[in-house]
């Protein structure tokens, strides 16, 4: 029979359910959006893997909260002590495993929006550090006691000093703080030269805020890591470690998925304009990145005056002729070569020539055609 969760146990129970529910909701919307525009990529699959590990971690915390984790000592029998320790160990393993694909998914998405090598090196370093920290931590958790079952039942074997787990926990926490803040700051650095409309800036700032909150959860968790050394009220104290750990990964999952949901904003009246193409972006150097809803193709258009001849060539393509490229091709071309009744076009070309000269021709040529 399960214990009635109270205090930290109740908080762990409810928080696990809430964060897991929102994680599945945002992930479901993410997959629906990405499949509807045919752009499922590596970052999506990584986030799905992260959700799988996170789900296992939350199941462990929910089961743990019903079996002594976070409960006062007077409620803990020998049975619940073993069950609580077992479920907490499962939580440790799955939580650590969830951090790698979640962070890697966000990193892959960042790689896609920048071609600067310095940012690529930083992103690869984040993925490498996170992977090493996760592997080291899981090995330490599994090797702490021999056999592994002695982790929750000391009578079955022997365990190393508890300081081993404490020190490893400090190590992975420090790594998480460093990588979380790096991932949170990088988008701002990458987009520093881009002047975005405020309606686009607000969602970006919200997502950055999620990243900082996730790293703050890791900072708060630091104060509870000494609970691993506790000889009394062990299950009560370690509940705080679980609470802040699932908060960190849960917010990372939710923020990472929300970043892909912009197309859904068109269904919200007061946010619909954010998902439209009317906002555009301009770099500080003055180069426009304004998208267009439609375009057309013209031949050479010449207009002669007495002292000047103006030539304008506009090439483009109606939206119906544009090819859709997957996200992993976005660094290669902005727009592919498309077939058009008026000829093949690649991207959009706008050429304007102004030539000052005296012309003696009396027969100006003006030609314009529509594809």
Dig out the tokens for 261 from the structure. Answer: 């949901």
Residues 138 and 42 in one domain: yes
pLDDT tens-digit series, residues 306-350:
454 444 544 444 444 344 444 444 444 434 444 444 454 444 555
One domain, residues 232 and 306 = no
Distance CA 19, CA 25 (A): 10
The answer to whether residue 277 sits within a structural domain is no
Half-sphere exposure of residue 212, counting CA atoms within 13 Å on the CB side?
A: 10
Lowest-confidence segment of 28-42, 150-164, 299-313, 348-362 by average pLDDT: 299-313
Average pLDDT value for residue range 76-105: 95
The pLDDT of residue 336 is: 44
Quick check: 106 and 44 in contact, CB under 8 A? no
In a domain, 330, yes or no: yes
**Structural domain count, the chain:** 2
Whether 182 and 325 share a structural domain: no
- Confidence bin at 229 (pLDDT 50/70/90): confident
d(CA 180, CA 126): 9
- Say yes or no to pLDDT of 102 above 90: yes
Average pLDDT, the chain: 77
- Of the chain, the percentage scoring pLDDT greater than 70 comes to 66
Is residue 184 predicted with pLDDT exceeding 60?
Answer: yes
Whether 304 shows a pLDDT value over 50: the answer reads no
Residue at which a domain ends, from 270, 290, 309? 270
Residues in the chain: 371
Residue 288 lies in a domain: no
**Contact status, residue 216 vs residue 62, Cβ threshold 8 Å:** no
pLDDT in tens, 264-292: 767 666 555 555 544 445 555 444 444 44
69 confidence band (pLDDT: 50, 70, 90): very high
Average pLDDT over residues 24-50: 93
Whether residues 214 and 68 share a domain: the answer is yes
Q: What is the pLDDT of residue 352?
A: 54
Residue 199 and residue 324 in one domain: no
Average the pLDDT over 19-45 and give the result.
Answer: 93
The alpha carbon torsion through 245, 246, 250, 251 (nearest 10 deg) reads -40
Q: Based on the domain organization, do 256 and 341 belong to the same domain?
A: no
User: Domain for residue 205, yes or no?
Assistant: yes
Let me know whether 183 and 242 are in one domain: yes
CB of 227 closer than 8 Å to CB of 234 = yes
Q: Given this model, what pLDDT does residue 341 score?
A: 46
Q: pLDDT, tens digit, for every residue of 251-264?
A: 989 988 887 887 77
The predicted model scores a pTM of 0.72
Together in a domain, 250 and 308: no
Would 248 be classed as within a structural domain?
A: yes
What percent of the chain has pLDDT above 90? 45
Cα distances (angstroms) measured from residue 32 to each of 27, 44, 45, 139, 302: 9, 11, 13, 36, 49
295 within some domain? no
Which domain covers residue 309, as residue numbers?
301-356
Q: In this structure, are 95 and 46 located in the same domain? A: yes
Read off the tokens for 358. Answer: 């005296």
Residue that has been written with the tokens 């050479």 in this structure: 300
Q: 131 and 24 in one domain?
A: yes
Query: Hey, is 61 helix, strand or coil?
Result: helix
pLDDT in tens, 192-209: 766 666 555 555 666 666
332 shares its domain with 202 = no
Cα 88-94-96 angle, rounded to 5 deg: 100
CATH code assigned at 133: 1.20.1070
Rg (C-alpha) for the chain, rounded Å, is 28
pLDDT tens readout for residues 119-177: 999 999 999 999 999 999 999 999 999 999 999 999 999 999 988 999 999 999 999 98
Does residue 315 form part of some domain? yes
Q: Is residue 110 one of the residues assigned to a domain?
A: yes
Which residue, 231, 252, 270, sits at the end of a domain?
A: 270
Distance CA 293, CA 79 (A): 66
- Let me know whether 111 and 61 are in one domain: yes
Between 183-187, 359-363, 364-368, the lowest mean confidence (pLDDT) is in: 364-368
Of residues 229 and 65, the one with the higher pLDDT is: 65
- The yes-or-no verdict on residue 297 having pLDDT over 80 is no
Give the strand pairing for 308-315 and 349-356: antiparallel
């Amino acid at each position: 029979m399960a214990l009635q969760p109270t205090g930290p146990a109740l908080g762990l129970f409810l928080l696990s359910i809430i964060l897991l529910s929102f994680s599945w909701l945002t992930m479901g919307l993410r997959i629906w959006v990405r499949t509807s525009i045919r752009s499922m990529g590596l970052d999506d699959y990584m986030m799905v893997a992260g959700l799988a590990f996170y789900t296992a971690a939350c199941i462990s915390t929910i089961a743990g909260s019903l079996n002594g984790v976070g409960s006062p000592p007077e409620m803990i029998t020998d049975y619940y002590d073993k069950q609580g320790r077992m479920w907490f160990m499962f939580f440790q393993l799955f939580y650590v495993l969830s951090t790698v694909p979640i962070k890697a998914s966000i990193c892959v998405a960042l790689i896609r929006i920048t071609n600067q090598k310095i940012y690529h090196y930083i992103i690869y370093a984040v993925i490498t550090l996170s992977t090493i920290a996760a592997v080291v931590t899981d090995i330490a958790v599994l090797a702490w006691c021999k056999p592994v079952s002695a982790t929750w039942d000391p009578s079955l074997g022997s365990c190393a000093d508890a300081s081993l787990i404490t020190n490893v926990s400090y190590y992975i926490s420090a790594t998480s703080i460093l990588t979380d803040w790096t991932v949170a700051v990088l988008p701002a650095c990458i987009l520093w030269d881009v002047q975005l409309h405020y309606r686009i800036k607000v969602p970006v700032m919200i997502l950055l805020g999620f990243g900082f909150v996730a790293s703050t959860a890791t900072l708060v968790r630091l104060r509870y890591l000494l609970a691993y050394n506790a000889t009394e009220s062990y299950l009560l104290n370690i509940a705080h470690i679980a609470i802040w750990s699932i908060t960190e990964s849960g917010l990372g999952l939710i923020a990472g998925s929300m970043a892909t949901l912009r197309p859904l904003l068109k269904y919200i009246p007061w946010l619909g304009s954010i998902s439209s193409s009317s906002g555009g972006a301009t770099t500080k150097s003055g180069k426009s990145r304004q998208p267009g809803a439609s375009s057309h193709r013209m031949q050479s258009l010449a207009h002669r005056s007495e002292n000047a001849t103006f030539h304008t060539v506009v090439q483009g393509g109606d939206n119906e002729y544009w090819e859709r490229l997957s996200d992993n091709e976005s660094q290669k071309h902005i727009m592919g070569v498309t077939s058009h009744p008026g000829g093949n076009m690649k991207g959009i070309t706008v050429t304007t020539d102004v030539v000052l000269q005296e012309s003696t021709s009396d027969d100006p040529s003006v030609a314009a055609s529509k594809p």
